[in-house]
A and B are shown apart, each in its own frame.
Chain A
Amino acid sequence: MKNKIRVHRAIHEITQEDLAAAVRVSRQTILAIEKGKYIPSLDLAFRIANYFRVPLEELFIYEEVNED
């Protein structure tokens, strides 16, 4: 799963810490999502998309991967 969180953070000029606080997760989780090491739950993905006021598919690009 690819995502454009870093791009949207840059557009909105906010830090990982700010975004993490806004969506109620740790900064490390935002970092892991940005790096593609962690795929967020649907709930968290919607919270991030709502924060940036963009559709989910604008923020996350689905790619089939072998989980585990």
Chain B
Amino acid sequence: MNRNTYYIFTGIIALILVGILWWSIEIGNPLPIEIAFVLGVVLIYLIRSRISSIIEDERYSRITEKAAVRTLEVFWVIFFASSIGAFVTSLDKHPFPPPIPRGPAGGFPIRMFGLVQLILLCTMIFLYVGFRIYYSRKYGEWDTDEE
């Protein structure tokens, strides 16, 4: 299998997952998308292991390693800051002077945590992709040849 076939399979799996996500929302049950996501990732790893052309050598590993470390270095700060925010909110202490009552809808609804987690996850992915592009350029991933 070549690399392009792998990318096509990955795209198809992603589309199927989007469909299952939509279906899960429709039926109001998170289990199908949770199971499908894990299966999808396993399937992608299996397909990836069948690529015949060499794509993962030491330079590739170096790019991955550097991008992952930088992502972690930046992301933990964002994650820590948002976690502190959530912790402070969870204490539910009333400031002085007490706030104007906003009715039963006031406060942070628990269902919003899923959205916050998704935003954080997307932030992490964007950070990783950004650093990956930076280090790929640095280590000549897209350089052209004079041959």
Contacts and interface: CB of A to CB of B under 8 A. Distances in A.
Interface residues of A, number: 17
A26 B147 contact: no
Interface string B128-147: 00000000001111010101
Given A16-B145, A28-B59, A29-B59, A35 B54 contact: no
Interface residues of B, dominant DSSP: loop
A41 B61 CA distance: 12
B115 interface: no
Contacts of A24: 54, 57
Contact of B57 (A25, A31, A37): A25
B50 interface: no
Interface of A: 15-16, 20, 24-26, 28-29, 31-32, 35, 37-38, 40-41, 43-44
